Amino acid sequence: MSIYVVGHKIPDSDSICGAIALAYLKNQIGEPAIATRLGEPSPETQFILDKFDFEAPELKLSYAGEQVYIVDHSEVTQAPDDIAEATIVGIVDHHKLGDLTTSTPLECWIRPVGCSNTVIKMMYDFYNVEIPKDIAGIMMCAILSDTVIFKSPTCTTADIRCVEALAEIAGIEDFKAVGMEMFNVKSDVKGAKPRELVMRDFKDFNMNDNLIGIGQLEVVDLSVFDDIKADLEADIAALKEEGNRHTVMLLLTDIMKEGSELLVVSDDADLSKKAYKIASENGRSWLPGVLSRKKQVVPPLQEVFA
């Protein structure tokens, strides 16, 4: 029976590239595995897949009765809807430990690094399996994406060494240029509907039984949002109501200025002030230096809800 290797809902490049890379590794060590996905690839991810000539993994939403290897999360809200009816055989991740539990022993490769693909590279090294050139390419891009080309505070020495090694395998000399090319694709929001943009990289968290949704858009220049910011705000307000969420946040991250504009709709008008010590005006605030949802946005929120 094959293992399905799947990342989180609303997959990002780490989830999609990680599923492909890990499924390949598993097959090499004699454990049949199939990469799958829980949603459509983002434009950034599609750029990576096209660049290294990959098809997107199979779209598969139901896993009842199957063996599943989870990539890039350990949260029930981000996992397949019927994950409780599946057997989780492993988790590779780089986030806080979430609320997924299992009834049988499993393997967890979780490290406080910038990207799941950095951990997957450690798995290749552990099993002594050679990484094919094209898989090295997508792994490298996933790490450059998650670490914002090493600018994110989540980026570690391990991530940088890993990108350097993968770039060499992939035969890429200027990996930073590839990273910028990727972020330029990501910055193209023209013609996209507000909902499509809000959901491009959106994660739900269960914080002490409050559902908190947090989206993030990383661009090279925030001015691309000037004409659509009000529409984005209307959409996160709608999303809050539709999902009975306590709060929806949208981070508009400027990777060159290295900070984020935070848009918030919440049952608690003072939430962003409580969490980030910066008052918001009309649900907007500028958070200097904030690039990482996982390291800079989620933990202070968890403290507020603890």
Under rule CB under 8 A, residue 286 binds its own copies: no
Query: Closest separation between CB of residue 106 and its own copies, Å?
Result: 6
Candidates 53, 55, 104, 277; binder of its own copies (CB under 8 A) is 104
Candidates 9, 37, 94, 186; binder of its own copies (CB under 8 A) is 94
Residue with tokens 């925030």: 222
Candidates 20, 38, 83, 91; binder of its own copies (CB under 8 A) is 91
For residues 158 and 255, which CB has a smaller minimum distance to its own copies in the complex? 158
Q: Which of residues 39-78 bind its own copies (CB under 8 A)?
A: 74
Contact region for its own copies (CB under 8 A) — 45-53, 89-97, 164-172, 239-247? 89-97
Q: Which of 7, 216, 14, 260 is nearest to 114 (CA)?
A: 14
Under rule CB under 8 A, residue 80 binds its own copies: no
DSSP state of 40: P
Tell me the β-bridge partners of 57.
Answer: none
What is the rounded CA–CA span in Å between residue 221 and residue 167? 27
Under rule CB under 8 A, residue 150 binds its own copies: no
Sign of torsion, CA 149 151 153 156?
Answer: positive
Contact region for its own copies (CB under 8 A) — 9-17, 103-111, 256-264, 282-290? 103-111
Q: Can you tell me whether residue 72 is helix, strand or coil?
A: coil
C-alpha distances in angstroms, 41 versus 178, 227, 280?
19, 25, 32
Under rule CB under 8 A, residue 109 binds its own copies: yes
For residues 133 and 274, which CB has a smaller minimum distance to its own copies in the complex? 274
Q: Which tokens sit at 119?
A: 């951990």
Q: Which of 51, 90, 50 is nearest to 71 (CA)?
A: 90
Under rule CB under 8 A, residue 246 binds its own copies: no
Contact region for its own copies (CB under 8 A) — 181-189, 214-222, 242-250, 298-306? 298-306
What is the rounded CA–CA span in Å between residue 233 and residue 284? 9
Residue with tokens 């890990």: 22
Using alpha carbons only, give the angle 297, 46, 146 rounded to the nearest 5 degrees.
25
Strands 3-6 and 67-71, how do they pair?
Answer: parallel
Under rule CB under 8 A, residue 95 binds its own copies: yes
For residues 89 and 141, which CB has a smaller minimum distance to its own copies in the complex? 89
Question: Rounded to the nearest 5°, which phi and psi values hold at 202?
Answer: -125, 130
Under rule CB under 8 A, residue 81 binds its own copies: no
For residues 99 and 174, which CB has a smaller minimum distance to its own copies in the complex? 99
| Interface ranges with its own copies (CB under 8 A) | 74, 84, 88-89, 91, 94-112, 126, 154, 294-295, 298-299, 302-303, 306
